[in-house]
């Protein structure tokens, strides 16, 4: 799964850290999603994220994070003014980030 994230990193104008923050913020809104990391089939976890998190909007740290059916859109608020349009992160990348952020049990 880490290779999927690495392979997709060059396609986005947001950094790996920014994608990780977006995933963490979304998972905090619906903690049940993060709790299902070890239960849901890994290849279908992104669909679970899409289904459970679509429609969630989070504004934090000068960023608007908007989860939609096609992906997660990150926009800078007018205070930052760095992005003229939103950047979309695919659900597979968000799911990989949520999975990497969960502690692994023995």
Confidence of residue 84 (pLDDT cuts 50, 70, 90): low
Q: What pLDDT is recorded for position 91?
A: 92
pLDDT score of 80? 53
Does residue 80 sit within a domain?
yes
- Of the pLDDT bands very low, low, confident and very high (cuts 50, 70, 90), residue 68 is very high
Q: List CB contacts of 92: < 8 A, sequence separation 6 or more.
A: 4, 8, 46
Q: How many domains does the chain have?
A: 1
Asked if residue 106 belongs to a domain, the reply is no
In a domain, 15, yes or no: yes
| Residue among 49, 44, 73, 76 nearest 60 (CA) | 76
For the cut 70, the answer to whether the pLDDT of residue 12 exceeds it is no
CA pair distance 24, 27, nearest whole angstrom: 5
For the segment 68-79, the average pLDDT, to the nearest whole number, is 82
Q: What is the pLDDT of residue 90?
A: 92
Residue 73 covered by a domain? yes
91 part of a folded domain: yes
* Domain span holding position 15: 2-101
Whether 81 shows a pLDDT value over 60: the answer reads: no
> Mean pLDDT over all residues of the chain?
78
What is the 8-class DSSP label of residue 103? P
Whether 64 is covered by a domain: the verdict is: yes
Residue 95 in domain: yes
């Amino acid at each position: 799964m880490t290779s999927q994230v690495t392979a997709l990193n060059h396609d986005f104008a947001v950094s790996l850290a920014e994608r990780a923050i977006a995933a963490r913020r979304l998972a905090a809104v619906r903690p049940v999603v993060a709790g299902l990391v070890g239960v849901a089939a890994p290849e279908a976890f992104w669909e679970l994220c899409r289904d459970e998190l679509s429609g969630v909007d989070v504004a934090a740290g000068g960023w608007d994070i908007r989860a939609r059916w096609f992906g997660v859109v990150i926009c800078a608020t007018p205070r930052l003014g760095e992005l003229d349009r939103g950047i979309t992160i695919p659900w597979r990348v968000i799911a990989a980030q949520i999975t990497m952020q969960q502690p692994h049990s023995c």
